[in-house]
């Protein structure tokens, strides 16, 4: 008998797990979130991006449709009109437009702070949302961790 993984595929299974997480899952978008990358970000509870990032579902340009739930999740965040435009044309949008539409929760700085600034902004955004306290761990590669 086929396993759950065979039925829906590994990406969809991962996305289901992320959506069901009891702790906040944050997508940090540094440069590009295309195709499956955007579908992963859509499954996150929050999305934080650099202003020069670009987001899109370009599968249609290859004759495919997004296959990991992007066609269902995207309209819930940005509305049907914008979602249809993104899905049907396959054209990416800049993070600034994604932020205005509700696809990105927070834009981080001027795009020059790198990964550290992006992760710090993600933690700073999520911790107040959850009523948690941010704790700095300098011995870890992640600059800050939110204890929930």
- Rounded Cα distance between 148 and 25, Å, is 12
- Percent pLDDT > 70 in the chain is 77
Higher per-residue pLDDT: 64 or 93: 93
Residue 129, pLDDT > 80, answer no
Collapsed DSSP state (helix, strand, coil) of residue 131:
coil
Pick from 128, 113, 103, 92: which is nearest to 48 by CA? 103
Give the integer Cα–Cα distance in Å for 53 and 17. Answer: 25
More confident site: 38 or 12 = 38
Report in angstroms the alpha-carbon separations of 66 from 37, 58, 146: 11, 8, 32
CA distance 10 to 47: 22
* Average pLDDT score, the chain: 79
DSSP β-bridge partners for residue 64:
none
The yes-or-no verdict on residue 111 having pLDDT over 70 is no
Q: Quote the CA–CA distance of 143 and 113 in Å, as a whole number.
A: 13
Average pLDDT over residues 99-113: 83
Contacts of 56 (CB under 8 A, 6+ apart): 33, 34, 35, 38, 86, 90, 91, 92, 93
Q: Please indicate whether residue 114 or residue 19 has the higher confidence score (pLDDT).
A: 19
Active site residues: 39, 59
| Per-residue pLDDT at 33 exceeds 90 | yes
**Which pLDDT score, from 0 to 100, does residue 86 have?**
93
Q: Taking 80 as the threshold, does the pLDDT of residue 123 lie above it?
A: no
State the distance between the two ends of the chain, measured CA to CA, in whole angstroms: 39
Question: Given this model, what pLDDT does residue 96 score?
Answer: 96
């Amino acid at each position: 008998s086929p396993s759950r993984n065979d039925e829906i595929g590994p990406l969809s299974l991962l996305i289901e797990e992320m959506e069901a997480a009891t702790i906040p899952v944050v997508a940090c978008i540094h440069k590009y979130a295309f195709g499956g990358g955007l579908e992963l970000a859509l499954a996150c509870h929050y999305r934080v991006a650099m202003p020069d990032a670009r987001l899109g579902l370009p599968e249609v340009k290859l004759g495919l449709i997004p296959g990991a739930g992007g066609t269902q999740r995207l309209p819930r965040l940005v509305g049907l009109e914008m979602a249809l435009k993104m899905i049907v044309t396959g054209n990416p949008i800049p993070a600034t437009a994604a932020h205005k539409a509700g696809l990105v929760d927070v834009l981080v700085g001027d795009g020059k702070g790198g990964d550290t600034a992006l992760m710090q902004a993600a933690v700073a955004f999520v911790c107040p949302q959850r009523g948690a306290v941010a704790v700095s761990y300098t011995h870890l590669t992640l600059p800050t961790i939110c204890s929930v």
